């Protein structure tokens, strides 16, 4: 099962892009987005340097020396690749949406549905970014604020609350199901039904699982293995507790895993009806 772009994926992408591009001058910029090409025509990025690349929840922010930031959001199928100049791309040219090239590396965004330029000074008031909840991969993560924001939606099913980026940034559909299983929480319990201990456990577990999937390795990041791990097992077939395992036996109690579509986006939630009764 291909990994869905969630907070861990975006964090790894940003870190890789930062290593490749940071401090290097832009020598070429291309995009299929008219709004981006207009900005580039008026204020060429080829006169700028990439200052840094960072993640903010599921958003990737590429900062340039001219006080401009490129925000991209991958949604379900977008991705960033890094190539040496002249290296053959692993995706079709027709799937290219944004290209930022330096003399040493080229960053190519494929199938990216959302991309815009923002002035650095406007980041704090950006309509989307300014409303993001605490990010489990941010060193400044505010645990108490995350709990408070979840508690502010008392009638919302906890499975939906964990996906609301205004409450807690970075978690997506995979981690949502895995966090709820790890904490033994019924996905459809309303937030109001959970006590402070349970909410704290959910927030702590979400942060732990996100961080575990970008943990330190020999190059400063955990090597990307092509699959997420929440069970601690290296075998890709055993790496997740419940996600993608409908009708298969629970790894703890052998009860068949259940799946249901719910919420405005009809997202899939996987859970064990025996282990998750709280």
- Return d(Cα 234, Cα 239) in angstroms, integer: 6
Last residue of a domain, one of 131, 165, 199: 131
> Which residue did the predictor score with more confidence, 232 or 28?
28
Q: Is residue 32 located within the same domain as residue 54? A: yes
Angle at 127 between CA 35 and CA 205, to 5 degrees: 115
Last residue of a domain, one of 81, 103, 131: 131
- Return d(Cα 100, Cα 16) in angstroms, integer: 14
Does 266 reside within a domain?
yes
Q: Is residue 25 located within the same domain as residue 124? A: yes
- Nearest alpha carbon to residue 134 among 147, 124, 151: 147
Q: Please state whether beta strands 50-56 and 59-64 pair in parallel, antiparallel, or not at all (unpaired).
A: antiparallel
For 100, phi then psi, to 5°, come to: -125, 110
* Cβ neighbours, 10 Å, residue 128: 16
Catalytic residue numbers, as ranges = 5-6, 58
What pLDDT shows up at residue 32? 97
* Boundaries of domain holding 101: 7-131
DSSP 49: B
Q: Is residue 120 located within the same domain as residue 11? A: yes
Does 138 reside within a domain?
no
Q: Is residue 159 located within the same domain as residue 266? A: yes
Q: Is residue 94 located within the same domain as residue 11? A: yes
Q: Is residue 160 located within the same domain as residue 245? A: yes
- Return d(Cα 5, Cα 7) in angstroms, integer: 7
Q: Is residue 119 located within the same domain as residue 153? A: no
Residues across the chain: 278
Q: Please list the residues that pair with 262 across neighbouring strands.
A: 267
Give the rounded percent of residues in the chain with a pLDDT score beyond 90.
84
For 53, phi then psi, to 5°, come to: -130, 135
User: Which CATH number does the domain housing residue 168 bear?
Assistant: 1.10.8.50
Q: Is residue 258 located within the same domain as residue 166? A: yes
Per-residue pLDDT band at 211 (split at 50, 70, 90): very high
- Return d(Cα 263, Cα 130) in angstroms, integer: 24
Reduced to 3 states (helix: H, G, I; strand: E, B; else coil), residue 48 is coil
Supply the pTM of this predicted model: 0.91
What pLDDT shows up at residue 225? 56
Residues 151 and 191: beta-carbon distance below 8 Å: yes
Question: Over the stretch 39-89, which tens digit does the pLDDT of each residue have?
Answer: 999 999 998 999 999 999 999 999 999 899 999 999 989 999 999 999 999
What pLDDT shows up at residue 223? 45
What pLDDT shows up at residue 250? 98
Residues 128 and 59: beta-carbon distance below 8 Å: yes
């Amino acid at each position: 099962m291909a990994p869905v772009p969630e907070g861990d994926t975006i964090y790894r992408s940003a870190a890789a892009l930062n290593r490749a591009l940071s401090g290097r001058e832009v020598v070429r910029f291309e995009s299929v987005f008219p709004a981006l090409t207009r900005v580039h025509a008026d204020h060429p990025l080829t006169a700028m340097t990439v200052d840094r690349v960072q993640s903010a929840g599921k958003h990737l922010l590429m900062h340039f020396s001219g006080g401009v930031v490129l925000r991209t959001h991958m949604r379900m199928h977008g991705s960033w690749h890094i190539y040496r100049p002249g290296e053959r791309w692993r995706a079709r040219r027709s799937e290219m949406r944004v290209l930022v090239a330096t003399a040493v590396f080229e960053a190519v965004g494929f199938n990216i549905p959302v991309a815009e330029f923002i002035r650095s000074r406007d980041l704090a008031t950006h309509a989307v970014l300014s409303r993001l909840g605490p990010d489990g991969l941010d060193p400044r993560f505010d645990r108490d604020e995350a709990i408070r924001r979840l508690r502010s939606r008392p009638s919302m099913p906890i499975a939906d609350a964990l996906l609301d980026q205004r409450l807690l940034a970075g978690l997506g559909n995979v981690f949502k199901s895995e966090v709820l299983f790890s904490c033994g929480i019924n996905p459809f319990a309303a937030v109001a039904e959970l006590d402070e201990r349970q909410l704290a456990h959910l927030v702590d577990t979400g942060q732990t699982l996100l961080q575990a999937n970008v943990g330190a390795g020999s190059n400063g990041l955990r090597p990307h293995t092509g699959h997420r791990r929440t069970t601690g097992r290296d075998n890709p077939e055993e790496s997740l507790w419940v996600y993608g395992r409908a009708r298969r036996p629970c790894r703890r109690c052998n009860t068949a895993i259940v799946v249901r579509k719910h919420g405005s986006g009809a997202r899939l939630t996987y859970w064990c009806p025996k282990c998750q009764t709280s």
